[in-house]
Structure 1
Amino acid sequence: MTDRHPRVAPGVVALAAMMVVSACAGSGSVGGSNPPRVASLPAVSSPTAAAPSVIPAGSTPPPSSGGSLVAPSVMLDQVWATSPLIDVATGETFRIADHAGTVIIIEAMAIWCANCRTQQADVTAALEQLPAGSVVFVALDVDPNEDGGSLAAYRAKNGFAGRYAIAGLEVARALSAEFGDQVLNPPSTPMVIVGTDGRVTLTGFGHKSVDQIVALATAHGA
């Protein structure tokens, strides 16, 4: 059953309030000189674009030209990409940037979010249709009231694929600074895709079907 009215956990509301107070006090945005937030851009940005592009929910991106988008050397230096995370299934410490050069699908989620659960089931199904090892899925729990043990149990119970981790304050603030506050609203199923060339795309908010996820991953180099 999906959430009819998106809600934000109290901890996430408190986090957003902390960021507003910080901004009013004159502190800089997280991660250095990020580009201005983008409300709407063309469906897919060119590989050299600095700002994240936005693909409307329900749309299918154009196929990539010239085959794979693999770049000789791809580096992700955003705070959300370089901050250490703990894979709750294995206990391994990793960074999103460790997977640079591979298509990375990132979803901000919470255990209580029914929309997230539905979306992750479709991501798991999509991964089965894509070439093995071509995509890394990272689910980031942005609810500060949830913990790694509960998240690990949630992942195992639902049989989901991918790396699940607690986002933490630093990563959550960095995501919000680059993509806007709605990226911390789990029921809107926020999803960010990093291409094999380092291109960062914020997809439209809302559920993405299995076919749409496969198309997005393929367009970004999978």
Structure 2
Amino acid sequence: MDSLSRRDALRLAGLGTLGLAGCLSGGGTGSDSTDGGDGAGGSGTTAAWQDAELTNVLTGETFSVSQFEKPVLVETFAVWCSNCKRQQDELIEFHEAVGDDVVSVALNIDQNEDAEKVRKHAESHGYDWYYAVSPTAVTRQLVDEFGTSMTSPPIVPMLLHCPDGSTTRLKDGHKTTSFLREQANGC
């Protein structure tokens, strides 16, 4: 095996640092309701990602997370992600239990997937909540505020945005209907 050039060694060290930062900023799978970072957003101020204009791929209508005057679950996902599909199947049960008292927003963060692919995914599985392709700027803002694991669909990243403007990173992994109801009731 050839030895690494100085440039390659520095590049690998940088990737390792980014990976470690992602782990420290919220990649855990513990039972805490947040990522342990500063992502609680409890000040009531609105971050730019919350005000970003998004397009619902199912209807073509534009919306923003901050426009809703009720709790909003924001999930980052990819069409290929089986863990995401499992969580979205759970959201059907969740919405049967809570009705329209909570809004769900699924943000596709895979740069290789477009609005048409996301629309087909949602329609083929009977998902009828807000689906959008996350603009690059929004994805960056989510990473800046909640950590790099927001771009790791298999860990099922999810946020809870409350009407007061605060946002909490929920635990990673599959979230049950009862867990989501409990969290939303805390808004």
TM-score for the superposition, normalised by structure 2? 0.77
Equivalent of residue 119 in structure 1, options 78, 87, 90: 87
- Offset at residue 44 of structure 1 (A): 6.3
Secondary structure at the counterpart of residue 108 of structure 1: strand
Question: What's the CA shift string for 1:18-54, capped at 9, x where partnerless?
Answer: xx8xxxxxxxxxxxxxxxx5789x9569xxxxx4339
**Secondary structure of the structure 1 residue equivalent to 2:110:** coil
Residue-by-residue CA offset, 1:135-189 (whole Å, 9 max, x unaligned): 1100000001101011111101101131000002101000000000001100000
Aligned to 2:40: 53
Q: Does 1:134 align with 2:101?
A: yes
Shift of the 149–76 alpha-carbon distance from structure 1 to 2, 3 Å rule, reads farther
Gaps of 5+ in 1: 1-16, 21-36, 46-50, 55-74
Match of 1:110 in 2: 78
After TM superposition, where is structure 1 displaced by more than 4 Å over at least 4 residues in a row? 37-40, 42-45
Unaligned runs of 5+ in 2: 1-10, 15-24
Aligned to 1:98: 67
Name the SS for the 1:88 alignment partner. coil
Contact 2:27/2:149, CA 8 A, preserved across alignment: no
Structure with the higher helix share, 1 or 2: 2
- Identity score, percent: 29
Q: Where does 1:166-181 land on structure 2 (aligned, <5 Å)?
A: 166-181=133-148
Q: Residues of 1 paired with 2:115 and 2:27: CA distance?
A: 33
Deviates more, 1:193-202 or 1:167-176: 193-202
Q: Secondary structure at the match of 2:100?
A: coil
Shift, 1:79, TM fit: 1.8
What is the letter of the counterpart of residue 129 of structure 1? A
Distance in 2 (alpha carbons) for counterparts of 1:204 and 1:135: 18
RMSD: 2.8
Distance 1:212 1:123 in 2: 11
State the one-letter code of the partner of 1:190: P
The TM-score normalised by the length of structure 1 is 0.65
Q: How many residues align?
A: 162
2: CA distance, partners of 1:119 / 1:129: 15
CA deviations on 1:81-111 (whole Å, 9 max, x unpaired) are 1111110000011111111x31000000000
Identify the match of residue 165 of structure 1 among 132, 139, 148: 132
Distance 1:39 1:154, change over 3 A: closer
Question: 1:213 and 2:180 equivalent?
Answer: yes
The residue number in structure 2 matching 1:79 is 48
- Alpha-carbon distance between aligned partners in 2 of 1:166 and 1:208, rounded to the nearest angstrom: 22
Matches within 5 A, 1:192-203: 192-203=159-170
